Amino acid sequence: MIAVTPGEPAGIGPELVCRYASENSTPLVAIASQALLESTCQALDIDLVLEPFDPTQAVTNKPKTLYVLDVPLAVPTTPGQLNASNAHYVLRTLEIATDYCLDGTFEALVTGPVQKSVINDAGITFSGHTEFLCERSQCERVVMMLATEGLRVALATTHLPLKDVPNAITAELLESIISILHHDLVSQFGIAQPRILVCGLNPHAGEGGHMGREEIDVIEPLLTKLRSQYQWHLTGPLPADTLFTPKHLKQADAVLAMYHDQGLPVLKYKGFGNAVNITLGLPFIRTSVDHGTALDLAGKGIADLGSLKTAITYAEAMIEATHTQQATST
């Protein structure tokens, strides 16, 4: 079973989930407000039956059906209008979803977009699903990786102000990020010997130390150590501006970028609308859309479904890969 959280109630998440369930037969359990989903279907004329979810019963593959585990909103919503009063609702849906994934009720969680700012406006420190799921699952570290046809980009740091990035790039951080990335490319993506390209942090990878020393002091020694210890295929640190070119990418299974806007603009330029955001290193599968709440489109029924479809397709494939791995290891 796959759980889905539509995310911010005033964003495009609820309508995308309802439209997906109306048009596709993958059985999904939405952890969300039943009233919100009902009003969304009514407003946009979406043909969908909302069935109460019973955790003791398996869901069946019924067309035009969405199972719902009801989590009431604090206050009714208007599409496109944020209300901090519903921030706790958003987090509650994520808590319930995570806990049901951890106890094995769901095999995967697919998340819709949340509005990070409004959660913080409600007085809750929140930087993203990735960090939230890491903490709730009591993981020491997880890795954000976005993927689209022909490109996978993982991040060494995630939702961090740019000024804090250089100090965060330590050998300890990079070793655990690369280890999780390598492990999950093998186990979840079936790549026997993953080839990973690692970006430098500074322009031209530091220009021999004249434009920053993180490459010389931290990244290169760590890559050398990991190569000799594990024989992993790690290339870098490479200048990020020319790393994202076919010559390099055709020899890679994934790229590790040092920070959010070093890697994600390239990925989204290539695949926005057909990309997926995956959290590696969790004890369960989590995929997500590549876009945000798109408040400008909410309630209009015109937002593109492509990324939600991709996120669900990846979750299904990763479930399959996990089953195959379990079968071969027993």
Ligand X SMILES: N[C@H](C(=O)O)[C@H](O)COP(=O)(O)O
What is the binding site for ligand NAD (CB under 6 A)? Answer: 7, 12, 113-117, 129, 277, 288-289, 291-294, 296-297, 303-304
CB 76 within 8 A of CB 10: no
129 a known binding residue?
yes
Stretch that binds ligand X, among 59-67, 80-88, 90-98, 125-133 (CB under 6 A): 125-133
How many Å apart are CA 243 and CA 241, to the nearest integer?
A: 6
Q: Strand 285-289 relative to strand 276-280: parallel, antiparallel, unpaired?
A: antiparallel
Ligand-binding annotation for 260, yes or no, is: yes
Q: For residues 68 and 155, which CB has a smaller minimum distance to ligand X in the complex? A: 155
Q: Which amino acid is at 230?
A: Y
- Which is nearer to ligand NAD, 86 or 202 (by Cβ)? 86
CB 254 within 8 A of CB 181: yes
Identify which of residues 201 and 303 has a Cβ nearer to ligand NAD in the complex. 303
210 labeled part of a ligand binding site: no
Among candidate residues 255, 298, 286, the one with its CA nearest the CA of residue 129 = 286
Q: Which does 282 bind (CB under 5 to 8 A by kind): ligand X, ligand NAD, none?
A: none
Site string for ligand X, 256-285 (x = CB under 6 A): --------x------------x--------
The answer to the question of whether 77 is labelled as a binding residue is no
Q: Does 129 bind ligand X (CB under 6 A)?
A: yes
Q: Minimal CB distance to ligand NAD: which residue?
A: 292
Residue 130 is labelled as binding a ligand? yes
Distance (Å, whole) CA 267 – CA 181: 17
Residue 32 tokens read as 């969300």
Q: What share of the chain is helix, strand, coil (3-state, %, to 5)?
A: 45, 20, 35
31: helix, coil or strand? Answer: strand
Least Cβ distance, residue 115 to ligand NAD (angstroms): 4
Annotated binding-site ranges for substrate: 129-130, 268, 277, 286
